């Protein structure tokens, strides 16, 4: 089921940015990522590398997936530290890439985003399909080292847990995440010819975000935005594909990821930060 979902190019192109925004609301996960990689200097390169790694596991051969998993395992050994004062209630908390709680949060934003983008751009999933997809995501998490017992065993339990997390007052971005995450999610360095399509893709991401996440990041959303979102996604589901040609519907997105990396290198790296929303 996960392979079926992630072979849709619309999912591969969009779920990562959505997951990044929601994931940034957990300070330990966000700071661990930013502090232990080149995400500050070359954020789009990191996003593309992560997307390629995930597609290798979802869609590649076992040998390709094993190489990716071995590389990620070695990288995660360097991810540990303590949060500073800008983390609010989490200040002083330690973080580690091998913390089961943080591994679950990372998996959760991926799983919810993959499902949300698929259901928005392709078709709704039935109850059994959602359960099958969640079981595949559990296996995906295990491959990256998450203990299965750290996660809710069924989709219904996961949904209840995730909704509770999104409603929690303890969930908030650091000041850096508040200004930086939306830039990385919505301002990818694509050629001018691709800017209109990027705006359409961004509209889909924004429309699938939980309302509270849009509010936290100050993403405007009203009747006009909702109507545009519904029109775009309705056309895409009917096969008209305003987001991408039908002939490119399935497969991996390496060419797009490489284009974004080239754009970042030409720009010189380091995405600008927006002023944090007060």
Give pLDDT tens digits for 14-65: 999 999 999 999 888 887 777 666 666 778 888 889 999 999 999 999 999 9
Give pLDDT tens digits for 219-233: 999 999 999 999 999
Residue recorded with tokens 């089961």: 100
Is residue 271 assigned to a domain? Answer: no
For the chain, where are the alpha helices, taking DSSP H only? 2-6, 9-23, 27-35, 43-59, 62-76, 100-121, 127-143, 155-167, 175-186, 195-208, 211-217, 223-237, 254-267
Of 148, 146, 152, 153, nearest to 69 by C-alpha is 146
How much is the pLDDT for 40? Answer: 66
Is residue 48 assigned to a domain? Answer: yes
Is residue 193 assigned to a domain? Answer: yes
- The number of distinct structural domains making up the chain is 1
Q: Which tokens sit at 126?
A: 């039935």
Average pLDDT estimate for 158-183: 92
pTM: 0.88
Taking the C-alpha atoms of residue 211 and residue 116, their distance in angstroms, rounded to an integer, is 14
Quote the domain boundaries for residue 215.
Answer: 2-251
How much is the pLDDT for 129? Answer: 98
Residue 272 clears pLDDT 60, i.e. is over it:
no
Diameter of the chain measured on Cα atoms: 51
Is residue 34 assigned to a domain? Answer: yes
How much is the pLDDT for 277? Answer: 44
Mean of per-residue pLDDT scores for the chain: 86
Is residue 223 assigned to a domain? Answer: yes
Split at pLDDT 50, 70, 90, the class of 74 is confident
Give pLDDT tens digits for 223-264: 999 999 999 999 888 876 555 544 568 889 988 889 888 988
Taking the C-alpha atoms of residue 203 and residue 216, their distance in angstroms, rounded to an integer, is 17
Is residue 53 assigned to a domain? Answer: yes
Split at pLDDT 50, 70, 90, the class of 139 is very high
Give pLDDT tens digits for 180-222: 999 999 998 887 766 778 889 999 999 999 999 999 999 999 9
Contact yes or no for 102/40 (Cβ under 8 A): no
Taking the C-alpha atoms of residue 19 and residue 128, their distance in angstroms, rounded to an integer, is 23
How much is the pLDDT for 89? Answer: 59
């Amino acid at each position: 089921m996960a392979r079926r979902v992630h072979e849709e190019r619309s999912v591969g192109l969009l779920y990562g940015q959505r997951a990044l925004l929601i994931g940034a609301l957990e300070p330990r996960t966000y700071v661990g990522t930013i502090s232990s990689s080149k995400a500050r200097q070359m954020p789009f390169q990191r996003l593309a590398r992560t997307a390629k790694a995930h597609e290798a596991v979802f869609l590649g051969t076992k040998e390709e997936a094993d190489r990716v998993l071995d590389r990620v395992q070695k990288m995660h050994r360097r991810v540990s530290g303590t949060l500073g004062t800008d983390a609010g209630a989490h200040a002083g908390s330690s973080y580690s890439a091998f913390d089961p709680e943080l591994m679950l949060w990372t998996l959760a934003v991926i799983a919810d985003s993959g499902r949300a983008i698929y259901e928005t751009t392709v078709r709704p999933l039935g109850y059994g399909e959602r359960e099958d997809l969640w079981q595949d995501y559990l296996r995906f998490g295990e491959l990256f080292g998450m203990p299965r017992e750290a996660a809710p065993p069924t989709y219904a339990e996961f949904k209840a847990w995730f909704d509770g997390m999104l409603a929690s007052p303890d969930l908030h971005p650091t000041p850096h995440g508040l200004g930086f995450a939306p830039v990385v999610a919505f301002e990818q360095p694509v050629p001018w010819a691709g800017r209109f399509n990027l705006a359409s893709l961004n509209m889909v991401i924004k429309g699938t975000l939980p309302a509270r996440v849009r509010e936290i990041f100050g993403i405007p959303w009203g009747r006009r935005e909702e109507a545009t979102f519904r029109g775009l996604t309705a056309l895409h589901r009917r096969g008209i594909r305003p987001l991408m040609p039908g002939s490119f519907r399935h497969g991996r997105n390496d060419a797009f990821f490489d284009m974004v990396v080239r754009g970042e290198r030409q720009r010189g790296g380091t995405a600008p930060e927006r002023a944090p929303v007060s």
